[in-house]
Every structure is written in C-alpha cells, then in structure tokens.
Amino acid sequence: MDIETTREVIPHGDPFALFDAWYREAREFELNDGNAMALATATPDGLPSVRMVLLKGHGPQGFTFYTNAHSRKGSELLANPHAALLFHWKSVRRQIRIEGPVREVDAADADAYFHSRARDSQLGAVASDQSAPLDSRHTFLDRFEAAKARFGEGEIERPPHWTGFRLEPVALEFWVDRPHRLHERRRFERDADGGWSSTLLYP
C-alpha cells in the first residue's frame, strides 16, 4: 500500500479552523453555491425533513442561515430546536456533517442581513407565505408587485417572521474521499469543558 493511501489527512485540532480551510477551498472550486448545505429538521414527534439552504455566517458561535419562520423548516425548528447540517462538495471530494441545538438570531442580526439582500429578494420575502399552499404562480407575482408598489423607493420593512437561525455545534464530522474507496472520517465532539475531542471512524 502506497504512502499516499496510508497518510492521515484529517488532523485532530480545532474543528473550526479545519472547517474554514475546507470551506475556503470549496468556495473557490465548487461551481455553484459552495455555501449550500442540507438542513435536516424534525417535528416534535420525530418526523424528519430535509432541504437545501445557504450558509450566511459561521464561526465558533455557530452556523447561521435565514428563512421564513412560518415555513415548514422554521416551524419545525421553533417546535424542536435541534438540527443537522451537511455540506457535500463534489469538486473537492469532501463532506462535513454538523449537529447541535438551534437558536433564533436577534432582531438586529436579522435586520442587517435582510437589508443586505437584493431589493427584489427583500420584496419576494415580503410577498411569500413560504411553504403555504398557492393557487397559482400569478397570485405570488401579483403579491410581489403589490409589495413593490407599497414600499416604492423607501426602505423595505423586514417581516417579523423572516428571521435567522444559528446551529450551535456539539459535533462535526469530516469526510474525505481517498483512493480505492479507503475513505477517511474524523468526528469531533464537544467536551463538558467546551473543548473538543476527536476520533477516526471507519469509513
């Protein structure tokens, strides 16, 4: 077996520094939406659902995304504030799983991100009852035009139910493709004192 196959490439250490390094590389080489991640939620009864969202902030404090709290994911997070994330970057043959409790961001953070978005995206958020039944696309577009007329050239008010959530990780698991499907996995788990332990896992 050659040296390249036997050498470990996922080191123990700071999982956030490792995430930052992998994320920078993915953002450079992933063709579309290197910040896309699968978000898994569940109802209080444990019924799961998953969808893609975009990462909008990250660091030791957590991983942040924004959505309509009246949507299915928003409702599930408010009722059962635990979730899991998955980044899968085919361009660099890596993935990262993240698990932990979720908290809603404060209003100032939600306002700041909402007003950083393109104006039409802000209007779309005002017009959309995300996840609710819709009789026709024309109804949605009519609501968009009504919101556009309502706000004119003025500042668009963030709907109170349009907010952000931050997953505070208790576990991160890194996976990298290796030759001959002898892949490598390392799982980091938060210690009681706030530090991190890690172990290799069979792929």
> Could you say which DSSP state residue 32 is in?
S
In tens, the pLDDT along 62-115 reads: 999 999 999 999 999 999 999 999 999 999 999 999 999 999 999 999 999 999
For the domain made up of 3-116+161-201, give the CATH fold: Pnp Oxidase; Chain A (2.30.110)
Q: Note the pLDDT of residue 1.
A: 54
**What is the chain's percent helix, strand, coil content, to nearest 5?**
30, 35, 35
In tens, the pLDDT along 25-50 reads: 999 998 889 999 999 999 999 999 99
3-class DSSP state for residue 75?
Answer: helix
In tens, the pLDDT along 150-197 reads: 999 999 999 999 999 999 999 999 999 999 899 999 999 999 998 999
| Overall residue count recorded for the chain in this entry | 203
Active-site residue set: 181
Q: Note the pLDDT of residue 7.
A: 84
Contact 93, 176 (CB under 8 A): yes
Helix (H) or strand (E) holding 186: strand 184-190
Q: CB 104: neighbour CB atoms within 10 A?
A: 16
Q: Note the pLDDT of residue 2.
A: 57
Q: CB 154: neighbour CB atoms within 10 A?
A: 7
Q: Where are the domains of the chain?
A: 3-116+161-201
Q: Note the pLDDT of residue 6.
A: 74
pTM: 0.92
Contact 25, 92 (CB under 8 A): yes
